[in-house]
Amino acid sequence: MVVLRCICQRSQNCRSLQTRPSKIPSRCSPKNWTALLQGPRTLLRSPPQSRPIRSLHQFCSQIRQGIRQVVIGEGIVEASSELEGIANSEEETTVLFGRTDQSDAGRRYHLLYRAIWILSQTGMRGGELLNLKWSEVEERRIKIVSTDQWQVKSRRDAWVPVSPKLQQEWNQWEKTGETWVLDKGDGKRYWAHLNELTASMRYVQTKCDCRGPKPLHGFRAGVATELLRQGASPVHVQRLLRHEDLSTTMGYLDPDALEIENLVRNL
């Protein structure tokens, strides 16, 4: 049960009550309800029936394993002795996803693998990645720009820094004939709409029983949580994720995870 409080000022009959979100009265928009939940909005909050996600690295690793289960389980890539000998290793990931480009279904999971890398290393939004062209990707940064069909959030173009790890990874990707980062291979986007990309990522999460974090936003939340946990300045994290309000960034900070024992040494 989740305790919900209605803050709808247009309805005088609304009262605080204990119910499930699915039973919110239709006269009140979900935006007018405040969930009284304890704790920060970190990646760590998963339903009890799901495997607990304790870090960004674990989340990415679990999603990759989900893709592995799908591409082998659905016969997109045949299991072989070569793969068995390097199971659950970085080498296996390289071999496996090097083979998923041979069909339409294989292409889909190859691009999801790309999405995992980019979202987890930049904190970009799903819509920004979906509308990203290779012409906007530089060696050390990515330019996020609005188009006629799509607008950057807050309508501000932005630059996102690229980590050396991500540079090294995408230098190995085959990009011949591609216009978009998530390209079909013929200059057209593989997913036309964000909800289609979200559904594909959700399918993989379901396969690996990773149902806590949101399919795409989970990576962004994971970047914020991980950087704050490591002691990064909230202001720097705010600039990286381009939050308008610092309080949005601070919502990912878990006070219980902060190490305070060494602070007194500076007194």
Quick one: 172 and 64 in the same domain? Answer: yes
Specify if 31 maps to a domain: yes
Quick one: 113 and 166 in the same domain? Answer: yes
pLDDT at residue 97, rounded to an integer:
58
Specify if 19 maps to a domain: yes
pLDDT at residue 209, rounded to an integer:
80
Half-sphere exposure of 54 (CA within 13 A, CB side): 3
Specify if 180 maps to a domain: yes
The answer to whether the beta carbons of residues 72 and 80 sit under 8 Å apart is no
pLDDT at residue 127, rounded to an integer:
94
Quick one: 31 and 102 in the same domain? Answer: no
Quick one: 216 and 94 in the same domain? Answer: yes
Specify if 256 maps to a domain: no
Quick one: 79 and 192 in the same domain? Answer: yes
pLDDT at residue 27, rounded to an integer:
40
Tokens in use for 181? 């980062």
Specify if 244 maps to a domain: no
Specify if 263 maps to a domain: no
Quick one: 107 and 6 in the same domain? Answer: no
Q: What's the per-residue H, E or C state across the chain?
A: CEEEEECCCCCCCCCCEEECHHHCCCCCCHHHEEECCCCCCCCCCCCCCCCCCCCHHHHHHHHHHHHHHHHHHCCCCCCCHHHHHCCCCHHHHHHHHHCCCCCHHHHHHHHHHHHHHHHHHHCCCHHHHHCCEHHHECCCEEEECCCCCCCCHHHCCEEEECCHHHHHHHCCCCCCCCCECCECCCCCECCCCHHHHHHHHHHHHHHCCCCCCCCCHHHHHHHHHHHHHCCCCHHHHHHHHCCCCHHHHHCCCCHHHCCCHHHHHHC
pLDDT at residue 8, rounded to an integer:
40
Residue 13, domain extent: 2-35
Specify if 48 maps to a domain: no
Quick one: 10 and 82 in the same domain? Answer: no
The answer to whether the beta carbons of residues 229 and 58 sit under 8 Å apart is no
Quick one: 24 and 75 in the same domain? Answer: no
The answer to whether the beta carbons of residues 177 and 190 sit under 8 Å apart is no
Quick one: 71 and 29 in the same domain? Answer: no
Query: Over its length of 267 residues, how does the chain's per-residue pLDDT go in tens digits?
Result: 333 333 343 333 443 333 344 443 444 443 333 332 334 454 544 444 444 456 778 788 777 777 777 776 666 655 554 444 444 555 555 556 555 555 677 788 889 989 999 999 999 999 999 999 999 999 899 999 998 888 888 778 899 999 999 999 899 888 989 999 999 989 999 999 999 999 999 988 888 887 678 889 999 999 999 999 888 999 999 999 999 999 999 998 877 766 766 667 777
Specify if 213 maps to a domain: yes
Quick one: 76 and 190 in the same domain? Answer: yes
The total of structural domains in the chain comes to: 2
Quick one: 98 and 17 in the same domain? Answer: no
